[in-house]
Amino acid sequence: MIYKGKREFINALVALLLLGALTACSPAAETVQTWKSGTVKNVVSQSIDREMEFVKPNLEPDLQASIDGTAKGGPLHGKEIVDLTIQENGGDYIDFCYTVNCNGSNDSDAVMQSARVVLPEDRFQQLQHEAKNIEKALGEQGELIAKALPENQKEAFYKDLKALVTRTIVLVTAGLVYICIPDVILWGKVSAAAAISVAAGFVAYSTMTIYEKYRFGISKQDKTKTVNDWVKEFLAVPQADFALTTAATSMTAMLAEGPVAKGITILVFACTNALETWNAMMKKYNLTL
């Protein structure tokens, strides 16, 4: 496959990351299943293998060494890690990773319900309250977009924006799940970290989709403008400014609390070219990734 330029290559890379998660889940696999199912085990095993390059560098050194299999003569793969997680009674983390893979791009409610099984109740209530407020306000202010966009663009753009907010909630949820893993769970950390990587890929994909559509489609602005110029113009849309403020604030708070989630997210964002865009947005809000 030949790409005409760097941006087309980046777009293809982002799309492949997203496709890797989604194609593992057939329509039948999206129904409620548990770690006892061979389908769930296969999806999570593949996810761990696919996301390992983002996950492993951010794990604790002892866990990295265990994955490398230095004491056993060879690296561990996703299937073996899933089996070890189940042996330590960490099946709920397998279920969560599966849910993020199959529903994380479009259904934050399903992801949050899966997280509820493993999160302390107070953390879940906090997460649920924040997510509901974001989604409610997003719906209530949806008509504001019409004041800034052409009629033939506003519906598609609003859907993209809503998807970005939904996927950011999923990323925040995945980060909190990792943060709250009890010390007695070791291998469950790998599947939870893979869920973070998948969720970060969804957010990166949405970010670059909006960037491309708005910068080169809706705004029709000078293509020589910088990312900072684009962000300034983009966030002049009241709906976009509100949605990104709430999503970015939630994500930043979670990443500040969880160094593993932060490291994985930054790696994924950097690989997909979304890091520069998010950094520009964060600068607008006086936040940092």
Instruction: State CA 203 to chain mean position distance.
Output: 5
Mean of the pLDDT values across residues 53-77?
A: 87
> Which pLDDT tens digit goes with each residue over 163-178?
888 899 999 999 999 9
> Which pLDDT tens digit goes with each residue over 251-287?
888 888 899 999 999 999 998 778 888 888 888 878 8
In the three-class reduction of DSSP (H, G, I as helix; E, B as strand; rest coil), residue 287 is classed as coil
pLDDT at residue 24 in the model: 56
Domain segments of the chain as ranges: 6-284
> Which pLDDT tens digit goes with each residue over 99-124?
999 999 999 999 999 999 999 999 99
Name the pLDDT band for 196 (thresholds 50, 70, 90): very high
HSE-CB for 236 with a 13 A CA cutoff? 11
Residues 6+ apart with CB under 8 A from 281: 231, 235, 244, 248
Pairwise CA distance, residues 230 & 218, whole Å: 12
The region, left, alpha or beta by phi > 0 then psi within -120 to 50, assigned to residue 271 is alpha
* C-alpha distances in Å from residue 132, one per residue of 158, 207, 208, 262: 18, 21, 25, 23
> Which pLDDT tens digit goes with each residue over 40-54?
999 999 999 999 999
Question: pTM score > 0.75 for this model?
Answer: yes
**Which residue has better confidence, 27 or 198?**
198
**Which residue has better confidence, 71 or 231?**
231
Structural contact between residues 145 and 213, judged by C-beta atoms closer than 8 angstroms:
no
